[in-house]
């Protein structure tokens, strides 16, 4: 009887412990917009500067939708950073659009990582204007005339994209 009483007592304590520890809706846009003019937008970037997509006409833009919780996105950022440094003078402009729900998460990320291109906060409206950003990462390559010439959902083939960028900016 004593072991049973002891067991019940321990179980009751554990149950209380567990309780205290456990704290505890049309049609979407068709994905894409490939081969169309990229929709213009204006946002304030994370450094406080206004950014308008159309201001980059004449440059090739790599528009990357990402988030701090997205593992594949984080892996791509150092590569995009390198490209921005390497090809920036040759008219490549990378723009990062964070789809994080909390701006603080992005600020925290940028405080720890040197990202040499503008980052801005995205939202559902911006995602929908690009045909729907329903999953991450997602990247768009926009040519110097403002046309979306490439779209990728998910992890990129970075080498293939690098070659395409070099083709667009005339480096071969």
Partner 1 sequence: MKLLINTIVLASCIGTACTIGAIAVGAEKIPASSIPAEYLVQPASLAASLQSNSGPRPLILHVGFRKLFDEAHIVAAEYVGEADESEGLAALRERVAKLPKDSAIVIYCGCCPWNKCPNMGAAFSALRSFGFSNVKALYIAKDFGTDWVDKGYPVTTGG
> How does strand 138-142 pair with strand 60-66?
antiparallel
State the nearest-atom distance from the C-beta of 57 to partner 1, in Å.
26
Nearest residue (CB) to partner 1, 92 versus 96: 96
Give min distance, CB of 29 to partner 1, in A: 8
**30 near partner 1, judged by CB under 8 A:** yes
- Name beta bridge partners: 97: 65, 120
Q: Is residue 67 within the footprint of partner 1 (CB under 8 A)?
A: yes
Contacts of 35 (CB under 8 A, 6+ apart): 147, 148, 149
Nearer to partner 1, 17 or 163 (CB): 17
Q: Min. distance of Cβ 132 from partner 1 in angstroms? A: 6
d(CA 118, CA 138): 17
CA distance 72 to 39: 25
Residues in the chain: 172
Q: Is residue 136 a contact point for partner 1 (CB under 8 A)?
A: yes
Nearer to partner 1, 126 or 144 (CB): 126
158 part of the interface to partner 1, by CB under 8 A: no
Bond prior to 137 in cis (omega within 30° of 0): yes
Minimal distance, residue 107 CB to partner 1, in Å: 17
Q: Does 48 bind partner 1 (CB under 8 A)?
A: no
Q: Which of 99, 148, 161, 165 forms a contact with partner 1 (CB under 8 A)? A: 99
Binding footprint of partner 1 on the chain (CB under 8 A): 2-3, 6-7, 10-11, 13-15, 17-18, 21-28, 30-31, 67, 69-72, 99-101, 122-124, 127-128, 132-137, 153-155
């Amino acid at each position: 009887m004593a072991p049973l009483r002891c067991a019940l007592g321990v179980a009751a304590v554990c149950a209380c412990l567990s309780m205290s520890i456990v704290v505890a809706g049309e049609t979407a846009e068709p994905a894409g917009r490939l081969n169309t003019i990229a929709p213009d937008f204006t946002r304030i970037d994370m450094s406080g500067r206004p950014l308008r997509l159309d201001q980059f006409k004449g440059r090739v833009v790599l528009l990357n939708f990402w988030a701090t919780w997205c593992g594949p996105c984080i892996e791509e950022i150092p590569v995009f950073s390198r490209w921005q440094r390497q090809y920036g003078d040759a008219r490549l402009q990378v723009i990062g659009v964070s789809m994080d729900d909390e701006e603080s998460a992005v600020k925290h990320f940028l405080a720890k990582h040197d990202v040499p291109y503008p980052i801005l906060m995205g939202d559902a409206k911006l995602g929908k204007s690009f045909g729907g950003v329903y999953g991450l990462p997602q990247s768009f390559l926009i040519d110097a005339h403002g046309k979306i010439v490439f779209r990728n959902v998910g992890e990129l083939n970075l080498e293939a994209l690098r070659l395409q960028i070099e083709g667009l900016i005339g480096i071969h």
